[in-house]
Structure 1
Amino acid sequence: MVRVSNGLIAVLNAITLALSIAILGAGIWLSVRGSTDCEKFLDRPAIAVGAFLLVVSVAGLVGACCRVSWLLWLYLLVTFVLIVLLLCFTVFAFVVTNRGAGEVVSGRGYREYRLGDYSNWLRRRVNDAGNWGRIRSCIRESKICESFGKKHRNLSQFVVHNLSPVQSGCCKPPSECNFRFAGGTTWIKPDNFSSNVSDCHTWENDPKVLCFDCGSCKAGVLANLKNEWKKVAVVNLLFLIFLTAVYSVGCCAIRNNRRDDSNRSWKRSDP
């Protein structure tokens, strides 16, 4: 009779197997059909995660259904490593995103962001030329500033709108530049313009330039990343609970397999 723990491990790994196939298929589809760097950004990670889950779930499924103890041991080892890595990642995510918050702008409905408010680790990542080149390409391809410009044709609409961190940092110049709003993503520099703020000199009305290379744009991306990582932290917590439960059930399945092996050996030795 198949024990409950073995049956649970088999069911859980059957679900994981189906999930891994879906992730692997999505990664392959992105690799083949993706037409831009943004669309292909997640293809390799998706393929790697899908293939890894596929191998692990097959090991757990075969180990539970066929009572192959060494496969279950391997499955438990990998699960334990995943629990440790996921816990470390969750703690790391909280540490590197505990700094940084948007500053309220007087008379405006949006916040502005400063790159120096974020952790050194995050700043180094966005300041890397290769990393930022890919992020900037994604922002352009998303046309987030183009849609922003169509919605804000006059100053009264613009000042009350609650902009996203990326819109605030990338689609307009910082408020301290004191540029005059001319509609959409067009701003007019005052006569005899002079400023110590580097973003003010970086800003261009060209839709392909705007403030995509500004520190405020990078800070807006990090602010958005911080918000997303908060959601990821909740998912990580739930996944940790799930993995811990699976690990516990797997330990029971191993114990059952050893007990059954001992019983079979005892029966064979009984005259």
Structure 2
Amino acid sequence: MGVSNNITAFLNFMAFLSSIPIIAAGIWLASKADNQCTHYFRWPIVILGTLVLLVSLAGFVGAYWNKQGLLAVYLFCMALLIGLLLIILIFAFVVTRPDGSYPVPGRAYREYRLEGFSSWLRNHLIDSEHWVKIRTCLAESDTCTKLNQGYITADQFFAARISPLQSGCCKPPTACGYSYVNPTVWTNPVNPNADTDCYVWNNDQSQLCYNCNSCKAGLLGNLRKEWRKANVILIVAVVVLIWVYLIACSAFRNAQTEELFHRYKQGWAR
């Protein structure tokens, strides 16, 4: 095996290692309650990470055993995968750029307005057709019930940094003026006309604010927060993959040159 193929094999091992955080980020995203209840963002990253892993293995085999055809396929497929990852990164950044959150006086957590998020997220994730299934899925999760295990007094709850999903779905909007009983039970609204969600709130644990616009906004806030975290990992992985790919292309050309030179020497010696 020539020097160039040795370099290519090592680089493909680096690409193999880079696929692991991509898969891990995808699994982390898929495990979240909001992603379990939606389908757009649940598995694409896991699938792409797995494809990067398989293509990297193919490239390693091609370099180690000097299979030039397999190396050419590797370079073509890796270029496609890097392109897809870049498209997903740019798309995720654009659609999650708007932040619909706003601070609430006297509260550590933030609340969320549906109008503050991108139109793509609103149109594709929380329209009436999709929301029925999402609402049922959220109600069956432990997103809200686990709040009752962590907070007892109102002061504890108001000082908590709960997730956007919990802020939007598990309690009524602060503007409604409901009195705290526990994180998912509130009574005696002082100002029920402040927000249309004030009429939707229900202490029934299967309903709560799952039909509220604040819950839909909280879901988008959760997705935004999680994808922003995952994007950091994906950006690092894509930078490494691009660096590996460019060097691998150079090594592949050098390997072809070495092979042609070797054949020329053999022909000249005869």
* TM bracket, shorter-chain basis: 0.7 to 0.9
**Is the CA contact 2:75–2:245 (under 8 Å) kept in the aligned structure 1?**
yes
Aligned to 1:250: 248
1:78 paired with 2:77, answer yes
Q: Distance in 2 between matches of 1:101 and 1:190?
A: 24
Q: How does 1:33-44 map to 2 (within 5 A)?
A: 38=36
Same amino acid, percent of matched pairs:
38
Q: Distance in 2 between matches of 1:251 and 1:237?
A: 21
Q: Distance in 2 between matches of 1:148 and 1:63?
A: 53
For residue 51 of structure 1, report the CA deviation from its aligned partner. 5.4
Which residue type is aligned with residue 249 of structure 2? C
Task: Give a deviation string over 1:35-60, Cα, whole Å, max 9, x none.
Answer: xx949979965774465235412431
Aligned to 1:229: 227
For residue 154 of structure 1, report the CA deviation from its aligned partner. 3.3
Normalised TM-score (structure 2): 0.79
For residue 110 of structure 1, report the CA deviation from its aligned partner. 2.0
Distance 1:134 1:62, change over 3 A: farther
Q: Distance in 2 between matches of 1:39 and 1:267?
A: 64
Q: Distance in 1 between matches of 2:264 and 2:201?
A: 81
**Is the CA contact 2:2–2:255 (under 8 Å) kept in the aligned structure 1?**
no
Q: What is the SS of the residue equivalent to 1:233?
A: helix
Q: How does 1:36-55 map to 2 (within 5 A)?
A: 38=36, 45=44, 48-49=47-48, 52-55=51-54
Normalised TM-score (structure 1): 0.79
Q: Which runs of 5+ in 1 are unaligned?
A: 31-36
Q: What is the SS of the residue equivalent to 1:144?
A: coil
For residue 250 of structure 1, report the CA deviation from its aligned partner. 1.3
Distance 1:74 1:118, change over 3 A: same
For residue 129 of structure 1, report the CA deviation from its aligned partner. 4.8
Q: What is the SS of the residue equivalent to 1:187?
A: strand
For residue 169 of structure 1, report the CA deviation from its aligned partner. 0.6
For residue 94 of structure 1, report the CA deviation from its aligned partner. 2.0
Aligned to 2:203: 205
Distance 1:89 1:53, change over 3 A: closer
Aligned to 1:2: 2
**Is the CA contact 2:173–2:197 (under 8 Å) kept in the aligned structure 1?**
yes
Q: Distance in 2 between matches of 1:159 and 1:219?
A: 20
Q: What is the SS of the residue equivalent to 1:108?
A: coil
Aligned to 1:34: none
**Is the CA contact 1:199–1:216 (under 8 Å) kept in the aligned structure 2?**
yes
CA RMSD of aligned residues (A): 3.4
**Is the CA contact 1:170–1:214 (under 8 Å) kept in the aligned structure 2?**
yes
Aligned to 1:123: 122
Distance 1:249 1:134, change over 3 A: farther
Q: What is the SS of the residue equivalent to 2:242?
A: helix
Q: Distance in 2 between matches of 1:61 and 1:213?
A: 52
For residue 194 of structure 1, report the CA deviation from its aligned partner. 5.1
Task: Give a deviation string over 1:159-179, Cα, whole Å, max 9, x none.
Answer: 333322112111101112222
Q: Distance in 2 between matches of 1:158 and 1:39?
A: 26
Q: What is the SS of the residue equivalent to 1:209?
A: coil
